[in-house]
Amino acid sequence: AQKITQTQPGMFVQEKEAVTLDCTYDTSDPSYGLFWYKQPSSGEMIFLIYQGSYDQQNATEGRYSLNFQKARKSANLVISASQLGDSAMYFCAMRAYSSNTGKLIFGQGTTLQVKP
Amino acid sequence: GAGVSQSPSNKVTEKGKDVELRCDPISGHTALYWYRQSLGQGLEFLIYFQGNSAPDKSGLPSDRFSAERTGGSVSTLTIQRTQQEDSAVYLCASSLVRGAMGNEQFFGPGTRLTVL
């Protein structure tokens, strides 16, 4: 069975500091992708970053980077230089490719609050 | 280009009534997904359409739920004989399918369903 675990229900960070949001996953599929989405209070889901299981380097997108540790099955999101607009719920998700299904399995989410 | 659109944005219905939720994916996206998000929870996969292939219905919670996708574009999710536990935000997403990797899903704004 595939599973995503986000152990931090809520996090606080001071503006301009970096923060790491934890994500661990479980799958027996050798080919998979890991995604992070942001959900502000308005409700829309915003794609942030993607990491493929065979990617050699950690993914980066602007202030977002993914700390991918395959042996530990973790895919933590690092947000550098936090901004007030980063306050939102963050979801880690996984897609297993060998099973040829497009569905994403989501974690329970982490609520991030950025303090001024 | 327009994003994924969903209608209605809000729907209040009485227990036992049928409801239809509509999703209009991004033009050119061949994959379409429905998810459900209960209050404060992660997203739960419902159904996945890819081109002309048979849909993956593995996430539908009961036979009261069904979905169709006409002409490879617009999709309708139908819930028959609604129950109070069906109250949630129903999110639709679409994606390109390029190879098998990194096909981020773009989400619509969701339909908030309340069953009284």
DSSP code string of A60-106: EETTEEEEEETTTTEEEEEE-S--GGG-EEEEEEEEETTTT--PPEE
Helix (H, G, I), strand (E, B) or coil at B72: helix
Q: In this predicted structure, what is the pLDDT of residue B102? A: 65
In this model, does residue B97 exceed pLDDT 80?
no
Q: Bridge-partner residues for A75, per DSSP?
A: A68
- Residue B69 φ/ψ, nearest 5 degrees: -135, 115
* Cβ-Cβ contacts under 8 Å, B35 against chain A: 104, 106
Confidence of residue B99 (pLDDT cuts 50, 70, 90): low
Mean pLDDT, residues A59-85:
96
In this model, does residue B100 exceed pLDDT 60?
no
In this model, does residue A103 exceed pLDDT 70?
yes
Q: Amino acid identity, residue A87?
A: S
Consecutive H or E run containing B6: strand B5-7
| Burial class, A41, CB count within 10 angstroms (exposed 0-12 / middle 13-18 / buried 19+) | exposed
In this model, does residue B110 exceed pLDDT 90?
yes
Confidence of residue B1 (pLDDT cuts 50, 70, 90): low
Confidence of residue B98 (pLDDT cuts 50, 70, 90): low
Mean pLDDT, residues B29-55:
89
Question: Using CA atoms, how far apart are residues A36 and A110, in angstroms rounded to an integer?
Answer: 11
* Cβ-Cβ contacts under 8 Å, A91 against chain B: 42-43
Confidence of residue A1 (pLDDT cuts 50, 70, 90): confident
Candidates A22, A25, A23, A21; CA nearest to A3 is A25
B84 to chain A, any CB pair closer than 8 A? The answer is no
| Contact in structure between A37 and A45 (CB atoms under 8 Å) | yes
Does B8 sit behind a cis peptide bond, omega within 30 degrees of 0 on the bond before it?
Answer: yes
Question: Using CA atoms, how far apart are residues B51 and A116, in angstroms rounded to an integer?
Answer: 47
CA atoms within 13 A on the CB side of A88: 21
Least confident of A61-70, A94-103, B48-57, B106-115: A94-103
* Cβ-Cβ contacts under 8 Å, A40 against chain B: none
| Six-digit token string for B68 | 């169709």
- Binary contact (A45, B107; C-beta < 8 A): yes
In this model, does residue B105 exceed pLDDT 70?
yes
What is the number of CB-based contacts under 8 A between chain A and chain B?
62
In this model, does residue A62 exceed pLDDT 60?
yes
| Six-digit token string for B94 | 């679409």
- Min Cα separation A1/chain B (Å): 14
- Binary contact (A103, B43; C-beta < 8 A): no
Which of A37, A64, A103 should be substituted to probe chain B, the one whose Cβ sees the most B Cβ atoms within 10 Å?
A103
- Binary contact (A35, B104; C-beta < 8 A): yes
* Cβ-Cβ contacts under 8 Å, B44 against chain A: 106
- Mean pLDDT of all residues in chain B? 91
A64 to chain B, any CB pair closer than 8 A? The answer is no
Q: Amino acid identity, residue B1?
A: G
